[in-house]
Chain A
């Protein structure tokens, strides 16, 4: 990886919490320009929180977040978005109550400029014909897969520096997941760096060059994608063992108030 270019996203010892419930403990990793990182881990490990911290939705309690070399810690989400970071949140990432086209227009006006909106719309409909067919329908009436495609269409036409895709495959039929991942690969080809949050380890590792595995809010592995699988398996096994032993090893960090949790886990 090139050493002289600043990473497009860098998390430096980031901790975060939801009210009194701590979710991340000094998480550090970085994404190189044009790189693709798979963010893996069991339920409640903090994957979505990492994504939200990066895009500014959840404030950090300590540590720094840098986007494209600039310190964006504590900046509001819209500034981070303008700095070139796009975040497709888990579940629904589009505005239900406005039309498909209005969703795209809203996005393109900001990213491409007012004049480029018609051309951008054309390109989006060319890449995803199904969106063109339903352009005047309310986005809430689209199927789950079509909504994810709409989210991707927003970023495909005007590539951001980094796309964070949170559980794009969640709740989709396998054939639809193929479509979504094809779209994701196309986004990557356009030069956008990717952070893919995923429960489906194989899908994510096939796309990514490196991987970060989270376990209970801390980084358990950070390195090339090839080495991640064994770590994930170990983490999952550890989790099921503690479950069998009757201890609540689930999202312990979320259910225990901060006072009761030691500041740093071993």
Chain B
């Protein structure tokens, strides 16, 4: 008993942070209909600023608490609401998820740029001093300031929230607002203010959770806030996004149980190294599979949703023949010039960069297929790429198999994993599917990729020239370029063919409406599995190419953050077309390379730029590049029309 308490008590601050965070997540979802993926970033921002004020600027704990939690927390929530989420139609799940992801990717990258790059260490706790032991629960179970303040603040926050929701008219209005903001307006309630209040309160809770968690670790790191995020998502999912009490209890349990288990399990065991870190994801997957209400999450409909204007028509290709010919000529010219340059004068450093861009493009094509064409949100594309790379690496290591042949087999393995993932989440859609794929990606990250048998430990698998035919890694050789170029052309062609063919029509129908597609005889389950399998193969091919270039396959190379960034980046340029994927791949590496020339501080800005781009997704679902392309085509059309019009008028006047 004594020992149990000794192990369990250190879990309390984690549990409290998870609970506050989970309740905040449920609150936002319940009152605004938004599952806020950016919530982890909000908590991280508050903790970061708190540490920065205390550590770097000598503010007192309380002043820093007010600045980072009481002001910044709700402030961020209000900004998110006012400028982002209130502009997204309530039915557009993809836009909501992508916007949240952009925040999750962008904010942690932005903070060091705005504030400082240095490590923030030794963050104090609020209310009670972290080092002081206040009392003992047993002879060997000291209770210090961290635990005490965590429990007190969390309980106070939750009690205030329950009182707010149960007894005030604002609480009732919040619960009504989630169903239909318009109906609420018809009752004479300013729904904008109700949702803004909800965002402010949830922002406050994110800030509080962030600051509660900060003193438990030595430094403030974005990684810890992802664990927080996942544990909270798992707790919220167990509560079916509905009951705040269940969410809070599960949150506390996840924190306490993982720390207790950590105490009991021998550190060398498989359970300690693989299962324990994956515990929140296992809970999340379990909830997604077995809580039936999660499958119906997005079926609550605003009875007044028909007031919204219908979605804009898909951008039809409205290029005239003249411009079409021009564009085609320019395109082929570009391809020839590109290949020629790569083979002749391109500096090696830029050739490397562009090769990498093309390898990314192949992975991004998988996003084009799964999200752009099939309309399914998958947050595990980097994981699938990793599955292929590690498979190829292990095949080469154990059986001496050629890495390219291994890559083909690895892509098949990635297809298989993707297919299994699709089968496991057949009954989930929209948000549920996004969460399921995210959980899978995290599971691979913490439990599978770091395993000795998969990646050979933290060092990763080192590729040797023996495994690679064609002198792929020879310096100053162009074999790798030709290989990547060939694979990219084949994959791009394949995706274009799929999009134009029968399967593409089926997938497009499914993207438009699963119910409608099923109604005209499309086998939704099969099409979904097919889309996942194909995209798994593409991601695998790209992953293998990337591995060849990097010559080492490290476990951290294909992490979930990359998966999120992939979706965000592709969505920014254009998720609907093959060109969009290629522009995304090349754009990513070129922006990164250009930032190399910028001051050290701005290095992390590439993701921020793409995150900013993704924030425009709600307004322009076709992507920025596609939008500009259409605008320029229209401009050119108008110019041509004016010229033709002028000559036509001249002809008419001449005749009369």
Contact = CB atoms under 8 A, between A and B. Distances in A.
Specify whether A and B are partners. Answer: yes
B185 A91 contact: no
A52 B303 CA distance: 13
A77 B185 contact: yes
A81 B185 contact: yes
Given A95-B180, A97-B179, A98-B172, A106 B312 contact: no
A57 interface: yes
Interface string A14-45: 00011111000000000000000000000000
B488 interface: no
Of B186, B189, B192, the most chain A CB neighbours within 10 A belong to B186
A52 B312 CA distance: 21
Interface string A72-107: 000011100110001101011111111000100111
A139 to B, nearest CB: 10
B307 A106 contact: no
Nearest to A81: B188
A57 B189 contact: no
A110 interface: yes
Contacts, number: 82
A58 interface: yes
B66 interface: no
A110 B186 CA distance: 11
Majority-rule SS of A interface residues: mixed
Contacts of B175: 97-98, 102
Interface residues of B, number: 27
Contact of B307 (A52, A82, A86): A52
A78 B169 CA distance: 16
A95 B176 contact: yes
A109 interface: yes
A90 B627 CA distance: 37
B187 A106 contact: yes
B304 interface: yes
A210 interface: no
For the residues of B in contact with A, the DSSP-based class is helix
Contacts of B304: 57, 89
B172 A102 contact: yes
Interface in A106-154: 106-107, 109-111, 114, 154
Contacts of A169: none
Contacts of A95: 176, 179-180, 183
A52 B182 CA distance: 11
Contacts of A102: 172, 175-176
Given A89-B303, A106-B172, A78 B309 contact: no
A81 B332 CA distance: 61
Contacts of A19: 309-310, 312
Nearest to B307: A57
A76 B300 CA distance: 24
Nearest to A89: B304
Nearest to A56: B185
A55 interface: yes
Most interface-central of A78, A82, A86 (chain B CB within 10 A): A78
B303 A87 contact: no
B621 to A, nearest CB: 14
A91 B307 CA distance: 13
Contact of B182 (A17, A21, A77, A105): A77
Contact of A18 (B179, B190, B191, B310): B310
A114 B172 CA distance: 13
B592 interface: no
Contacts of B183: 89, 93-95
B631 to A, nearest CB: 17
A110 B189 contact: yes
Given A18-B310, A57-B182, A98-B172, A107 B303 contact: no
Interface in B174-228: 175-176, 178-180, 182-192
Contacts of B169: 106, 109, 114
B186 A87 contact: yes
A26 B475 CA distance: 73
Nearest to A108: B187
B173 interface: yes
A43 to B, nearest CB: 14
A106 B173 contact: yes
Contacts of B190: 76, 78
Nearest to B189: A78
A21 B190 CA distance: 27
Contacts of B300: 96-97
A251 B235 CA distance: 48
A84 to B, nearest CB: 9
A110 B180 contact: no
Contacts of B309: 17-21
26 contacts: A19-B312, A21-B309, A55-B186, A57-B185, A57-B304, A78-B184, A78-B186, A78-B187, A78-B191, A81-B187, A89-B304, A93-B186, A93-B303, A95-B180, A96-B300, A97-B175, A97-B300, A98-B175, A102-B176, A105-B172, A106-B169, A106-B187, A107-B187, A109-B169, A110-B188, A114-B169
Give me the 4 closest cross-chain CB pairs, A-B, nearest first: A19-B309, A77-B185, A81-B188, A92-B303
Given A55-B186, A98-B176, A110-B187, 4 more contacts: A20-B309, A57-B307, A95-B180, A107-B187
